[in-house]
Amino acid sequence: KKIVTLAGDGIGPEIMAAGLAVLAAVAPKINFDYTIEAKAFGGAAIDAAGHPLPDDTLAATQSADAILLAAIGGPQYNDAAVRPEQGLLALRKALGLFANIRPVQIFEALKHLSPLKAEIIEGVDFVVVRELTGGIYFGEHTLNERTARDVNDYSYEEIERIIRIAFDIARGRGKKVTSVDKQNVLATSKLWRIVADEVAKDYPDVTLEHALVDSLAMKMITNPSDFDVIVTENLFGDILSDESSVLPGTLGVMPSASHAENGPSLYEPIHGSAPDIAGLGIANPISMILSVAMMLRESFGETTGAAYIERAVHQTLLAGVLTKDLGGQASLSEMTEAIIKHL
Amino acid sequence: KKIVTLAGDGIGPEIMAAGLAVLAAVAPKINFDYTIEAKAFGGAAIDAAGHPLPDDTLAATQSADAILLAAIGGPQYNDAAVRPEQGLLALRKALGLFANIRPVQIFEALKHLSPLKAEIIEGVDFVVVRELTGGIYFGEHTLNERTARDVNDYSYEEIERIIRIAFDIARGRGKKVTSVDKQNVLATSKLWRIVADEVAKDYPDVTLEHALVDSLAMKMITNPSDFDVIVTENLFGDILSDESSVLPGTLGVMPSASHAENGPSLYEPIHGSAPDIAGLGIANPISMILSVAMMLRESFGETTGAAYIERAVHQTLLAGVLTKDLGGQASLSEMTEAIIKHL
Ligand SMILES: CC(C)[C@H](C(=O)O)[C@@H](O)C(=O)O
Ligand SMILES: CC(C)[C@H](C(=O)O)[C@@H](O)C(=O)O
């Protein structure tokens, strides 16, 4: 199994090392053989090769069995997102990573971090499914001196495949899909709703509800335990999936997966490269480590290995080993070692 | 002064009556003379005239000094938004209501309603300024059987005038503008940021910060007291202004204003027509009543009258007169009478 790692910038290299240390520790327990190929991506790749996604990085990801990405960007690159149209967005498009999956869960040991009252976050456990290779992200962009234009395109097929992913996930969980659109204004949303209703016919065991994006942006916070699988288009998904991280109250414990129809999936923390604490050895590696667990489960069918990691993370948190962002004093390496010990 | 009222659907007529009762009670205290012209709009207008915005309604609003809108929509119209492109959106466009203003405040007496912890909402007091007549709402919409397209257009002038509104408001408040865009992806957002930086030069006394919409959707909940004036384009404003209502924990106390370059402004509650409780006499009239206060201040310069109403609302809430949605048992008329008594 070839795993390509894109450590990126800021705290990226540190947390990637932590994730790989945990992988190395769990692998013998589950007889998992793998090789690692580290490649430059993002700001680091601009520094090294003048381009955020060098050809050999792209080629390596294309022949990988799975990809781990840590984080990219930093103030020295003069753009928080490191030329996304040549970097992150180009990578998503080239690999066809159309389905971005973000589980939202509250860790018992971290409940106090949520800005929300305890009774609101009680029982929160949902997944945000975001369409990742279509919509206004990839339509024509025109910037003139006095006018600008973006085009939002969706095809039936693009909508259908992401809605199916949402229904498939819901079938294995709470059997409810909330499809989010702005159907009272956008043509793409009208099509979205038509397709969602059509796909729903193939899943009589799963309930479909529609929500307008403005209304959902409220309900996700006021009634978060109502949701099981939330599915939406690229731009709404960008906003709502970031908004959902408000519930656990920390970006530090949320992994994500991005899947293609064929080819490797990519796993990454939802947080950024935190340049202000880069190199200090105090970054929180949990999102990265849980991304490794997602990879084991979703790319390699290693459910036992994934469960080992997830349990070890829970136990480490319950044991009070917390990095600074979580209100504790553990260093990155102390936390990583504690997780490995709990495996 | 001619005030045109659009009572609309559901609880619309009841809360409009409450708002007008408060206006009638405050008017003699401030020597405010006015006439009311009631017109059909929304579902009620579809029933009466086959169109959500009949010609004579539009003509009346165009010759008004101010417009009060209660709420529109209902299940019998088979579309939650009652054909917005012919109704609400057409009205906004015809009147040139490009600047939508929503103050976000926490009422002392209602703090417990917020889903957020007390320390998070402490000191929250900001205004969301949403561009209301441009962007993807009014670009071309194309719906085919297998594809759909929406076009997002902004011109320099459209952006400039809304940014200026935000800076003008900030100048009279906390002197900080947070401009929200998706500059790392959208051409319209790149132009937006250029214009914001340009306008900022005319306001050396006001601080401008930029935020990406995904990040802001988090920070508005985790750090709401950091904000003074948030300004953004139409679609982001739709999502973020609804999201902001999470902070007070109720839609029942939030008014809004929409302004044009020339011509009348429109004032309305941010909540909907609540068809499930229509006609029961239990609706909460406060958003409507505070919209009347906003009208007095912003369209007629009647700051004293506005302050009377706002104080009376505060005192009524502190006195524990609460409608059902606020956790109390007061009827719509009991609450309205209590507010009038406190004037
Ligand atoms: C960096 C940016 C282009 C990207 C996006 O908007 O997709 C990011 O916000 C994300 O969600 O991964
Ligand atoms: C009804 C709908 C078209 C409208 C909008 O999106 O502008 C509503 O959500 C609002 O915010 O006033």
Instruction: Please write the tens of the pLDDT for every residue from B165-202.
Output: 999 999 999 999 999 999 999 999 999 999 999 999 99
How many Å separate Cα B163 from the centre of its chain? 17
Q: Rounded to the nearest 5°, which phi and psi values hold at B336?
A: -60, -45
Integer Cα distance of B124 and B116 in angstroms = 12
Question: Out of A81, A143, A215, whose CB is closest to B242?
Answer: A215
Helix ranges restricted to H, A232-331: 234-244, 286-300, 303-318
Tell the residue nearest (CA) to atom 11 of ligand 2.
Answer: B238
Domains A1-96+261-343 and A115-247 share a fold: yes
Cα dihedral across residues B64, B70, B73, B76: positive or negative? negative
- Judge residue B207's burial from the number of C-beta atoms within 10 Å of its C-beta, 0-12 exposed, 13-18 middle, 19 or more buried: middle
- Judge residue A222's burial from the number of C-beta atoms within 10 Å of its C-beta, 0-12 exposed, 13-18 middle, 19 or more buried: middle
The answer to whether B50 faces chain A, any CB pair under 8 Å, is: no
Question: What's residue B77's pLDDT?
Answer: 86
Question: What's residue B79's pLDDT?
Answer: 66
**Residue B283 DSSP symbol:** -
Of A43, A40, A133, A49, the residue nearest A81 (C-alpha): A43
Question: Out of A89, A115, A156, whose CB is closest to B222?
Answer: A115
Integer Cα distance of B244 and A217 in angstroms = 9
Q: How close is the Cα of A294 to the center of ligand 1, in Å?
A: 20
Q: How close is the Cα of B98 to the center of ligand 2, in Å?
A: 13
What is the b/e burial string over B122-157, where b = at least 16 CB atoms within 10 angstroms of the residue's CB?
eebebbbbbbbbbbbbbbebeeeeebbbbbbbbbbe
Residue B301 Cα distances to A40, B72, B229, angstroms: 61, 28, 21
Q: Is the per-residue pLDDT at B326 higher than 80?
A: yes
**Residue A83 DSSP symbol:** S
Of B129, B51, B148, the residue nearest B90 (C-alpha): B51
Residue A19 identity: G
Q: How close is the Cα of A239 to the center of ligand 1, in Å?
A: 9
Q: Which ligand is nearest to the CA of B238?
A: 2
Q: Assess whether the C-beta atom of B88 lies below 6 angstroms from ligand 2.
A: yes
Place of tokens 């007390």: B118
The answer to whether B308 faces chain A, any CB pair under 8 Å, is: no
Question: Out of B79, B147, B212, whose CB is closest to A155?
Answer: B147
Looking at every residue in chain B, the average pLDDT score rounds to 97
Is residue B260 within 8 Å of B95, Cβ to Cβ? yes
HSE-CB at A99 with a 13 A cutoff on CA atoms is: 25
Is residue B100 within 8 Å of B241, Cβ to Cβ? yes
Of B195, B201, B155, the residue nearest B179 (C-alpha): B195
CATH class belonging to A1-96+261-343: alpha beta
Integer Cα distance of A211 and A198 in angstroms = 16
User: Three-state DSSP class for B115?
Assistant: coil
The answer to whether A200 faces chain B, any CB pair under 8 Å, is: no
Place of tokens 């880069």: A278
Model pLDDT for residues B56-81, shown as the tens digit of each residue = 999 999 999 999 999 999 988 876 66
Question: What's residue B82's pLDDT?
Answer: 78
- The model's confidence at residue B44, banded by pLDDT at 50, 70 and 90, is very high
Count H helices and E strands in chain A, helices first. Answer: 12, 12
Closest chain B residue to the Cα of A79, Cα to Cα: B184
Q: How close is the Cα of B139 to the center of ligand 2, in Å?
A: 15
Q: A243, A245, A247: which to substitute to probe chain B, counting the most B Cβ within 10 Å?
A: A243
Closest chain A residue to the Cα of B211, Cα to Cα: A80
Question: Out of B84, B142, B184, whose CB is closest to A84?
Answer: B184
Q: How close is the Cα of A15 to the center of ligand 2, in Å?
A: 42
Residue contact B217–A240, C-beta within 8 A: yes
pTM for the predicted model, two decimal places: 0.97
Residue contact B84–A184, C-beta within 8 A: yes
Catalytic annotation, residues of A: 137, 182, 214, 238, 242
Q: Assess whether the C-beta atom of B52 lies below 6 angstroms from ligand 2.
A: no
Walk across the sheet containing B147-155 and list its strands: A141-143, A147-155, B147-155, B141-143
Residue contact B155–A146, C-beta within 8 A: yes
| Chain B residues with beta carbon closer than 8 angstroms to that of A80 | 184, 212
| Pocket, ligand 1, Cβ cutoff 6 A | A 81, 84, 88-89, 238; B 184-185, 214
Q: Which ligand is nearest to the CA of B271?
A: 2
Question: What's residue B78's pLDDT?
Answer: 72
Sequence spans of domains, chain A: 1-96+261-343, 115-247
- Region B337-341: what's the mean pLDDT? 98
Residue contact B182–A149, C-beta within 8 A: no
The answer to whether B218 faces chain A, any CB pair under 8 Å, is: yes
- Tokens representing A268 are 């990454």
Question: Out of A79, A150, A186, whose CB is closest to B186?
Answer: A150
How many Å separate Cα B260 from the centre of its chain? 14
Is residue B276 within 8 Å of B309, Cβ to Cβ? no
Question: What's residue A79's pLDDT?
Answer: 66
Residue contact B143–A235, C-beta within 8 A: no
- Report strand pairing: B176-181 vs B207-212: parallel
Model pLDDT for residues B231-241, shown as the tens digit of each residue = 999 999 999 99
Catalytic annotation, residues of B: 137, 182, 214, 238, 242
Question: What's residue B25's pLDDT?
Answer: 98
Residue ranges of A for the binding site?
92, 102, 130, 214, 238, 242, 272-284
**Topology of domain B1-97+250-343, CATH:** Isopropylmalate Dehydrogenase (3.40.718)
Place of tokens 């739709």: B238
- The model's confidence at residue B267, banded by pLDDT at 50, 70 and 90, is very high
The answer to whether A249 faces chain B, any CB pair under 8 Å, is: yes
Q: How many CB atoms lie within 10 A of CB A329?
A: 11
Closest chain B residue to the Cα of A78, Cα to Cα: B184
For domain A115-247, the CATH architecture is: 3-Layer(aba) Sandwich (3.40)
Nearest-atom number in ligand 1 for the CA of A81 is 1
Is residue A127 within 8 Å of A171, Cβ to Cβ? no
Residue A216 Cα distances to A167, A175, A207, B267, B276, angstroms: 19, 19, 17, 24, 19
| Chain B residues with beta carbon closer than 8 angstroms to that of A115 | 116-117, 120, 221-222
Q: How close is the Cα of B238 to the center of ligand 2, in Å?
A: 7
For every one of its 343 residues, what pLDDT tens digit does chain A have, with 9 covering 90 and above?
A: 999 999 999 999 999 999 999 999 999 999 999 999 999 999 999 999 999 999 999 999 999 999 999 999 998 887 656 789 999 999 999 999 999 999 999 999 999 999 999 999 999 999 999 999 999 999 999 999 999 999 999 999 999 999 999 999 999 999 999 999 999 999 999 999 999 999 999 999 999 999 999 999 999 999 999 999 999 999 999 999 999 999 999 999 999 999 999 999 999 999 999 999 999 999 999 999 999 999 999 999 999 999 999 999 999 999 999 999 999 999 999 999 999 999 9
Tell the residue nearest (CA) to atom 11 of ligand 1.
Answer: A238
Report the C-alpha dihedral over residues A28, A29, A34, A38, rounded to 10 degrees. Answer: -90
